[in-house]
Amino acid sequence: MSESILFLTGKLAEKSLNRVLQNMQNSDSKIPKFKYRVAQIGVSVAALMTPELIARRLADAGDADRILVPGLCRGELAPLEVKYGVPVERGPEDLKDLPQFFGHGGKAPDLSQQDVLIFAEIVEAPELTVAGILARAEYFKRQGADVIDLGCLPNTPFPHMVEAISALKSAGFKVSVDSMSSDDLLLAGKTGADYLLSLTEKNLWIADEVASIPILIPAKSGSLASLYRAIDNMKKKGRAFIADAILDPIPFGLAESIGRYLRLRKRYPDIQIMMGVGNLTELTDADTTGINAILFGIIAELKLNAVLATSVSPHAVNAVVEADVARRMMFAAREDRSLPRDYSNGLLGLHDRRPFTYSAAEIADFAAQIKDPSFRIQVSEAGVHIYNRDGLFQETDPFKLYPHLKVDDDASHAFYLGVELARAQIAWQLKKRYSQDEELQWGCNTVQKDTEARVAHREASQKEMRNKKDKV
C-alpha cells in the first residue's frame, strides 16, 4: 500500500508543485511512488507559512499518512503533529528539489555517522600562549576536530609544551604532539599526550616508555619497507598504533604516495591508518573544498581511519570543517553504495548542481499572478528577473534594470534592491542558487548571518513604497 502525503503550499507555488509531483509520479526513476494531495492554504509565498497559520487554516489531514510543509516554514512542528495525528515534516527549501529529497526516502540524508578521526594541527603552537592554544583548540573543536595536535616547530623552543598539554587535557581535549625531536615526544608522552607524531623504526623505543599511541611513518621518504618493519614490531608487542604512508604534494610524488596507501591497506587490512592532507590542501592554489572531496573519497574507499588536517594558509582557513563535511558525506555514500551526490552541498562553494530551478517562462507565470507593488527577484539561465504588479523586467546587468524600478525617492528601498540585484547577478554569473532575502550559499564556507533584520528592513521599505504609490 503506497503512502499518502499531504503537501502544503502557497498560491504562487501551487502550479509548480503540482507539475513537479506529477512528473515524479510519471518518471522511471527509483523514487518511491506515493499518493499525494496539494493543499494551498491562502498565503502568496509558501515561505511565509507558519505552524500557527497552518493550524488556523488547515482543518484536518484527511487520509494523509504524513504532512510535508515547505522547507522555509519556520517554527515548531510538534503541535501540528498533535493536532492532525500524523507526522509533520519539512521538505526541501526549493520545491524543485523534491525529486532529490524523495530519492533519499523523503528524508534528509543521514550525515550523523563517520569513521575518520580528525587531528587538527595547531602548527604555530610554540608561538602561542597556553590561553591562545586553548582558544585555537576550541575553534577547531567547533569545526569538527576530534584531536588537537600541537605542532613543534624546528629550532623553536616550546617551553610551555607540558603546561599546554595539561591545560588541553583538563579541558577535555584529546591531544597529540607532532615533533621531530625524540626528547619532545618522550616528554609529551610522559605528560599525558594521547598520540605522538611521528615515530619511525629508529625511535620506536619511545613507545615502550609511554602509554601514548604512536603514529608510525617511514624512516625514509617513500620507504614502505621501513614502515612495515615498524608496524610488525608494534603488532608483535600487541600495542595500539596508527600508520601513515605520507601523502606527497604535487608534483613531488602525489600519485605514487596514493599508491603507497593502497599497498599499505592491502597488506594490513585491519590496522589503523592516517593520511595527512595538508600537503595538498595547503600547498596547492586551488579551493580546498574540491581537494578535500577527492581525498576523502579515497579515504572512504580505502577505509582509512584518521586524517591530520592543517589550517594555515588563508585559502585553507576552513580545511577542518571541510574535512568534517567530507568524511560524513563520503561515509554515507560508501555505506549506501551510492555516488556522493545529493548528500550535502557543504563542499559546493563556487557553483551549484541545480542553480536555476525555474525557467524564464515559469517566472513569467509567477509575475502574471502578482497584484501588489512589492518586488520579487529570481534568476534563470536567461538572467536576472525582477517583477511586481507594474511589470516583469529581465537583464543580465542590474544597472539596466534601475530605470524600471522607480525608487529614486526612496533611498532605503533602493539600497535593498541594489544589494539583492548584486547577489542575483553574482548567482547568475557563477551558476549558483539565488533566493531573495537569503545570503548566497558558499557551502561550509558560508558565513551565517541573521536574516531577520534584512527581512524586516525589506518589509518596512516596501510598506513605505506601497503607501507612497497608494497616495499617488
Secondary structure (DSSP) of 242-290: EE---PPPTTTTHHHHHHHHHHHHHH-TTSEEEEE-HHHHTSSSS-HHH
- Spatial contact of 243 and 265, defined as CB atoms under 8 Å apart: no
pLDDT at 101: 86
| pLDDT at residue 369 is higher than 80 | yes
| pLDDT at residue 466 is higher than 70 | no
Q: Which is higher by pLDDT, 47 or 68?
A: 68
How does the average pLDDT of the chain come out, rounded?
A: 91
Prediction pTM value: 0.83
- The arithmetic mean of pLDDT across residues 20-36, rounded, is 83
Find, among 390, 393, 421, 376, the residue nearest to 48 by Cα.
376
What band does 105 get if pLDDT is binned at 50, 70 and 90? low
- Spatial contact of 310 and 316, defined as CB atoms under 8 Å apart: yes
Q: Where are the beta strands (DSSP E) in 311-419?
A: 376-380, 383-388, 391-395
pLDDT at 472: 39
| pLDDT at residue 469 is higher than 50 | no
Measured CA to CA, the distance from residue 241 to residue 212 in angstroms comes to 9
Q: Which is higher by pLDDT, 462 or 416?
A: 416
- For 377-404, the pLDDT digits (tens) are 999 999 999 999 999 999 999 999 999 9
pLDDT at 457: 53
| pLDDT at residue 430 is higher than 60 | yes
- For 155-205, the pLDDT digits (tens) are 899 999 999 999 999 999 999 999 999 999 999 999 999 999 999 999 999
- For 246-283, the pLDDT digits (tens) are 999 999 999 999 999 999 999 999 999 999 999 999 99
| pLDDT at residue 463 is higher than 80 | no
Give the chain's radius of gyration (CA, Å): 28
pLDDT at 214: 98
- The arithmetic mean of pLDDT across residues 45-68, rounded, is 91
The partner residues of 172 in beta bridges, in order of sequence, read: none
- The arithmetic mean of pLDDT across residues 364-383, rounded, is 93
pLDDT at 465: 47
Distances (CA, A) of 347 to 290, 342, 350, 438, 444: 7, 11, 9, 19, 6
What band does 292 get if pLDDT is binned at 50, 70 and 90? very high
- For 337-351, the pLDDT digits (tens) are 999 998 999 999 999
**Quick check: helix, strand or coil at residue 440?**
coil
Q: Which three cell numbers stand for residue 299?
A: 579515504
Measured CA to CA, the distance from residue 36 to residue 4 in angstroms comes to 5
Q: Which is higher by pLDDT, 453 or 179?
A: 179
C-alpha of 40 from chain center = 32
Pick from 12-26, 30-44, 46-60, 452-466: least confident: 452-466
Measured CA to CA, the distance from residue 376 to residue 402 in angstroms comes to 14
- The arithmetic mean of pLDDT across residues 441-452, rounded, is 73
- For 117-129, the pLDDT digits (tens) are 999 999 999 999 9
The domains of the chain, with CATH numbers, are: 4-103 (3.40.50), 117-336 (3.20.20.20), 360-471 (no CATH)
What band does 460 get if pLDDT is binned at 50, 70 and 90? low
| pLDDT at residue 29 is higher than 80 | no
**Quick check: helix, strand or coil at residue 350?**
coil
What band does 47 get if pLDDT is binned at 50, 70 and 90? confident
